[in-house]
Amino acid sequence: MNKPDMKVVIAGVEFKNPVIAASGTFGFGREYDRFYDISALGGISVKGLTSEPREGNASPRIAETPSGMLNSVGLQNPGIDAFLAGELPELRKKNVVILANAAGRTIEEYAAMTARLSAADVDMVELNISCPNVKQGGVAFGSLPESVFDVVSAARKTCAKPLMVKLSPNTADITKTAQAAERAGADAVSLINTLTGMAVDLEKRRPLLANVTGGLSGPAVKPVALRMVYQAATAVKIPVVGMGGIMTARDALEFMVCGARAVMVGTANIADPMACPKIIAGMENYCREHAISDINTLVGTLQV
């Protein structure tokens, strides 16, 4: 058959294929562009940005776990000014959708970040609501529907660009937080962010991470991620972008069958710098082998 149509549209933004490099594992694309032309990607969600530069948490801040990885990097980034002045102009030279990932410590900081990013030459803003709310005792914004609604509402007021909200899995009911984001004006949701976990050195009787706990990612979280993507996709009308343990094309396609319009690939990039182009090629081959002319026809076809 002819080449399958791999294009997907999310909140009015067209992606040449459904594979987006996830925030946190891809930096600003410079390192990976040495391995392949990153214009091959559907999109890039850049390193999480904050109003000021951050050095991140103390080391060690990465630990391998069975079928996964723990990280407590702590949103190390050069700050929004450096991104706008140095990273964005270079990334804009690539034919790829750019998602700016915004983080903050207060609702006011989120609103200020989305205002600045909305005025910049990015295609979408992805709101990272797994950050602790310093005004509410450090509880993550994404943990409760009420705080999700409040922070997304504030960001929506200052954001003229399509707004995607990255949901935390560390919540009692993912459908409630997804619905809260939708009610507050989100154009799409992405999930899941990392699960909170820890690892221990038995001989030293100490945690492997200096921060004690960290975010678990990689294949170990895929069953949880699939479940949450399926639940969220059935609970909201806005597009869902799925992530969590995607290592292969089949993994990515499973997320789409569960309701994701597109996928984000994170930890796989660390294991194999060529992971994303391999996944794109594998998805296209699957469609060709199964006589699927348009990849969008797979979305939400899970039979239960």
Domains assigned to the chain:
8-57+72-196+217-298 (3.20.20.70)
Tell me which residues of the chain have a pLDDT lower than 50. none
pTM of the predicted model as reported, rounded to 2 decimal places: 0.96
Instruction: List CB contacts of 188: < 8 A, sequence separation 6 or more.
Output: 10, 11, 162, 163, 164, 165, 238, 239, 240, 241, 261
CB-based contact 290:4 (threshold 8 Å)? no
Q: Is 282 helix (H, G, I), strand (E, B) or coil?
A: helix
Q: How far apart are CA 158 and CA 32, in angstroms?
A: 32
pLDDT, tens digit, 9 for 90 and up, residues 180-212 = 999 999 999 999 999 999 999 999 999 999 999
Chain centre distance of CA 252:
14
User: Which residues does the annotation mark as catalytic?
Assistant: 131
pLDDT at 130: 85
Angle between helices 249-257 and 222-235 (to 10 degrees): 30
Backbone angles phi and psi of 109, in degrees to 5: -70, -40
pLDDT at 138: 54
pLDDT at 140: 83
pLDDT, tens digit, 9 for 90 and up, residues 216-228 = 999 999 999 999 9
pLDDT at 135: 65
**Tell me, what DSSP letter sits at residue 54?**
B
pLDDT at 204: 97
